Amino acid sequence: MAKFKWRILKPLLFFVFLFFYQLVSAQTSKATLHGYVRDAANGEELIGVTVYFPDLQKGVVTNAYGFYSITVEGGAYNITYSYVGYATVTKNLTLASTTELNIELEEATETMQEVVISAEAADANVTDIAISTEKVDMTQLKNMPAVFGEPDLIKMVQMMPGVITAGEGTSAYFVRGGSADQNLILIDEAPIYDPSHLFGYISVFNSDVIKESQLYKGGIPARYGGRLSSILDVRTIDGNNKTFGGAASIGTLASKAMIEGPIRKDKGSYLLSARRSYADLFLKIAGNENRVYFYDINAKVNWKQSNKDRFFAAGYFGRDAFKLGGVFGFDWGNTTGTFRWNHLFSEKLFSNTTFIASQFDYGLELEDEALGFRWTSVINELSIKQHFNWFITPKNELDFGYNLTYRRFQPGYLQPNVESSIFDGVELEKLYALDHALYIGNKQVVSDKLTMEYGLRLSIFQNVGPGDVKIYADPQDNIRPEVVRVDSYNSLEPIITYYNWEPRFSARYLLNDVSSVKFSYNRMAQNVHLISSGTVPLPFNTWNPSSIYLEPQLADQIAAGYFRNLKENAYEMSFEGFYKHMQHVTDFADNANIFFNDDIATEFRQGDSEAYGFEFQVKKNVGKLTGFINYTWSKTVRTVPGVNLGEPFPSNYDRRNAFNLLASYKLSERWDFTSTFTYSTGRPITLPTGQYQYQYYNPSYITERNGYLLPDYHRMDISAVLVPLKNKNRHMQTKWVFSVYNVYNRKNAFTLYSQDKEVDDQPTGEKEFVMIYLFPIVPSVTFNLSF
Amino acid sequence: MNRLFVLLIAVFGLIACEEVVDLDINQSTPQIVIEGLLTNKDTTHYVKVSRSIQFYESGLNPVTDATITVSNGSQVYLYSHNPGAVDSLNGYYFSDVAYAGSIGEAYTLSVNVGGIEYMATDTLKNVTEIDSLAVVLAPNPDEDDEAEGRIYQVLLFAEEPPATEDFYQFQFFRNDTLITSTNNVYVFDDDALGDRLDGLPSPILFKEGEKAGVEIYSLTKEQYLFYTDLSNILNSDGGMFSPPPANPRNTFTNNALGLWQVSAVREGNVIIVP
């Protein structure tokens, strides 16, 4: 224990030292300018606005809540507020003491675009310290072609460099050699355990209510943690605090409606949005017994008590329900609630306190007199996050905080749903976990050219009681698990505790006005493990905490990149390389039974994974033609004792090449055209090389894991957005989105499996491969309305 | 179960398609496959020995020169290859004498092919008696069955010893003919059951006048896992949602495929009368 304490103390001392050093160096009499930056039209706080002092060549960026603070020597200054897509505002101020300045920015119209081009913010690609970070352009997202015309955030994420997909029709994505469960997906800071609707056709994110979303693939700041490979941080809009408004749309798949407005002008606002699919209504009309639907609801209120205290409450409720043949049903859903309190302790010290509740659950049900049952599984999470953002000097911005999370995993509960059922009620052992995280990180402008961000996160993870823990003679014996004893634990009594230090570091060095090099290293630890051995997680997968049988997964990643802008920032270019080494990645024994298994611990196999690759990106953000080209080359290999005889094998999502293109052309005020093209190497697949007879069965004979590749995947989609001219003169705005998915009707393999060849329903003794492909050419129309 | 999800996605897509494709697949080295069954019935028992074939081939690749013995520690039973020299029984070995496996006894199968010995041992477990079979109208007969007048289902009633961990396999017969399937495996785990098997419905349907037969086999956990693994590979979706397909586990040495099954068996019959 003593040894452990010293291990904690040593790095902490360093930070304490650093902290006081900053304090001392920041003491001279200076003026602090602070405030919020908002959208002039609806009062939404803007995230990532550059507040810049050209005379000093110093600046700061608004944080995730739209707040900024910068301390400079007293004097008269020009200050610019700039943000992509908005008109830059320049203020002339004489700063003597602490000054509060809340700024409203207006969205740039066509004619103002030229002004925006020259704004400082446009060179963020080069000057910002962020490496391996992708921001989703919401306009691009809303205009991009989508299957069934439903614009989807995850589909955009899947096009980003460094991101691999498992194929169309899934919401899973794989970042830099990480598996699908290694992505943390946050909506207003609350985690979403399964982001899929309709098995992944679309995701839970309703694009109408997204304000900002960022994907961190590397150089992950210390305030984020808990998953190895990426953080997708989605923030929803707060609701218009100036006027009442709304939007509605009717699409091929789903319809949605949203209202927003002030509770009191400039003081508080609300937002309510709902979306529902209606395929089930068509099925009903067609006399089909199958039922399929999903819905989601986003609700939010926020209240600005004063410029010092602001409160938000946000909720997300989503659910999918299927019923087949009136007999077999299943459903799943996420529910999250967030309550936030922003408080300014001083003009330099911003505090955010968040309470989060999140639940993911699913159920499977069979309605049958004899075999009827309902099976449910639930994961609950409660957490509190205290985050401080301290704008010490213009050269130092400190982030620090503490997170506490409590999780309850209920892997399975099976109960008969009719009295005549042959089943008894059975419940798998519940699991509990407490997770503490302490972090501190500083962003430091070292010189005109060099900026660094460094931090440290300490994750303390405890698998706690109540519970009975089986101790196995051989924890890997999944045939006849032999329990030597059972240890009982009381509520909150630690079963095992894991400590992990997670250092984070990024640096940016400006080569000149238009180019920079960046470097980052981060270590991440993950203490929740998805119990799934397929390529793509299903909503019916459960999660387990780290335990005596599952060590925390760890990832070390280094990434380096060259960033360059061309033609006065009209083009952004980046080239990044990464190397990632992961330890204790969770895998499963061959033939593992992960479905209602009391001894699931005996199926766990953990090993190493190694990934490396490079990513190339070009973006054009201004002009009539905008878009991006992304290319990724990467390789991922796993070595897991007990899987594939311990030999290295390509991971399920090891796709060597991935190329994505999006081009948007603004033809006129009325018409916008967007086209996307995607190409990637087929995903690895395990195919049989032989077959044999056993009784009346002809099983396939497997000799090699992931030894084959599916055919290459490629597809082109187009969309046209029509904004009618009459919009100009009225409050009500309408928009049509026409899109065609898979324009050249490519048959892309979704999966491939072997089966017995049959002629007239009779097996021939021969076998064959069957390829499943999902979407042929699919046209769709969506009508949008906003007021 | 696993392929179900892919089909579901396909169903929901309404437009998803299946297509048979020809693939260039590597040649595999033929592997020994052993299928042996010993029951508590006093009869001549069989062991079938073959080699796996290439994916695009068909038929049985029998092994005719194996040396086979079954032993319970005290007695050794010898098996001979196809004593009646029937062409269709190439690869089948029969015990030289009729014998019955005893409940609670462990039996070792040893198959020697070209100097390599493949061995497996398992214990013959008791199986519950079938109390009765009831005939009821099936709740959801499919169109094919309905067209043939097969609208009756057989319900099985039996005691289920609650204290022991039991696994069962079922075989169904129509007029004494075994009903075969390419991908359905009928095995059952007693984990979620009460102390009775009350009204377990037959997965196949019958018409009036037919003789419905059910055989219930005891399985050890190893044998049960073999059958669930077999079901997984027969129904694998290729690893999209299900685990990557893998060969079923068994107790053979030297990586032989197949299973040494020792089971107690009981049977029940009923003539379908509405």
**Token pair 């956990």 in the structure block, residue:** B221
> Chain A partners of B16 at a C-beta cutoff of 8 Å?
750, 772-775
Q: Which pLDDT tens digit goes with each residue over A706-728? A: 889 999 999 999 999 998 877 66
Say if CB A336 and CB A190 are below 8 A apart.
Answer: yes
pLDDT the model gives residue B3: 53
Q: Where are the alpha helices (DSSP H) in A56-172?
A: 113-117, 124-127, 138-143, 153-157
The residue type of B169 is Q
Predicted local distance difference test score (pLDDT) of residue A506: 95
- What is the rounded average pLDDT for all residues in chain A? 88
CB–CB contacts below 8 A, A to B: 249
Q: Which residues of A touch B196 (CB under 8 A)?
A: 422
For A512-534, how does the pLDDT look when each residue is reduced to its tens digit (9 = 90+)? 989 999 999 999 999 999 998 77
Out of A669-678, A774-783, B36-45, pick the least confident. A774-783
What span, in angstroms and rounded, lies between the C-alpha atoms of A698 and A688? 12
CB contact under 8 A, B58 and A766: yes
How confident is the model at residue A28, as a pLDDT?
A: 52
Q: Is A642 exposed, middle or buried (0-12, 13-18, 19+ CB in 10 A)?
A: middle
Q: Of chain A residues 318-347, which have a CB less than 8 A from chain B?
A: 322, 324-325, 327
Chain B closest-CA separation from residue A18 CA (Å): 49
User: What's residue B215's pLDDT?
Assistant: 95
Task: Judge whether A419 is closer than 8 Å to chain B, CB to CB.
Answer: no
pLDDT for A61-91, tens place per residue? 888 888 998 888 888 888 989 887 788 888 8
Listed as ranges, residues in chain B with pLDDT below 50 are 1-2, 11-14
Can you give the pLDDT at residue B16? Answer: 64
DSSP string, A277-311: E-HHHHHHHTT---EEEEEEEEEEEEEESSSSEEE
Confidence of residue A395 (pLDDT cuts 50, 70, 90): confident
Give the residue range(s) of CATH 2.60.40 domains in chain B: 28-124
Given a cut of 60, is residue A11 above it in pLDDT?
no
pTM: 0.88
The 10 Å CB-count burial string (b at 16+, else e) for A345-377 is eebbebbbebbbebbbbbbbbbbbebbbbbbbb
B13 touches chain A (CB under 8 A): yes
- What is the rounded average pLDDT of the residues A753-780? 87
Is B181 an interface residue toward A (CB < 8 Å)? yes
Contacts of B193 in chain A (CB under 8 A): 422-424
ipTM for the complex shown = 0.94
Would you call B241 an interface residue with chain A, using a CB distance cutoff of 8 Å?
A: yes
Mark yes or no for CB contact A368/B242 under 8 Å: no
Tell whether the model's pLDDT for residue A116 goes beyond 60.
Answer: no
Q: CB of A283 within 8 Å of any CB in chain B?
A: no
Question: Across the interface, do A692 and B200 touch by the CB < 8 Å criterion?
Answer: no
Q: Could you report the per-residue pLDDT of A331-379, keeping only the tens digit for each?
A: 999 999 999 999 999 888 999 999 999 999 999 888 877 778 888 999 9
pLDDT of residue A703 exceeding 50: yes
Residues in chain B with CB shorter than 8 Å from the CB of A423 are 192-194
b/e string for A105-143 if b means 16 or more Cβ within 10 A? beebeeeeeeebbebbbbbbbbbbbbbbbbebbbebbbb
Residue A690 or residue B147, greater confidence? A690
Q: Which is more confidently placed, A323 or A660?
A: A660
Question: d(Cα B77, Cα B68) in Å, to the nearest integer?
Answer: 9
Alpha-carbon distance B73 to nearest alpha carbon in chain A (angstroms): 23
CATH number of the domain located at residue range(s) B28-124 in this protein: 2.60.40
Domains of chain A in start order, with CATH, are: 28-114 (2.60.40.1120), 232-786 (2.40.170.20)
For residue B266, the model assigns a pLDDT of 95
More confident residue, A587 or B140: A587
* pLDDT exceeds cutoff 60 at A2: no
Residue B19, CA distances (Å) to A604, A753, A774, B45, B235 in order: 35, 11, 11, 42, 17
- Smallest Cβ distance to B240: which of A426, A590, A751? A751
> Percent of chain A at pLDDT above 70?
93
Closest residue of chain A to B202, computed from CA coordinates:
A370
Residues 39..68 of A with a Cβ closer than 8 Å to B: which? Answer: none
Higher pLDDT, A584 or A26: A584
- Kindly tell me if the per-residue pLDDT of A118 is higher than 50: no
**Given this model, what pLDDT does residue A415 score?**
87
How much is the average pLDDT of A123-127?
A: 81
Nearest-CB residue to A685 (from B55, B56, B238):
B238
Q: Please list, in sequence order, all residues whose beta carbon lies within 8 angstroms of the beta carbon of residue A713, skipping any fewer than 6 positions away.
A: A167, A168, A678, A679, A680, A681, A682, A748, A749
Interface check for A777 against chain B (CB to CB < 8 A): the answer is: no
Given a cut of 90, whether residue A265 has pLDDT beyond it is no
Alpha-carbon dihedral A257, A260, A263, A269, rounded to 10 degrees: 130
Task: Determine whether the interchain pair A767/B221 forms a contact, defined as Cβ–Cβ distance below 8 Å.
Answer: no
A594 chain-B contacts, CB cut-off 8 A: 243
Q: Do A690 and B228 touch (CB under 8 A)?
A: no
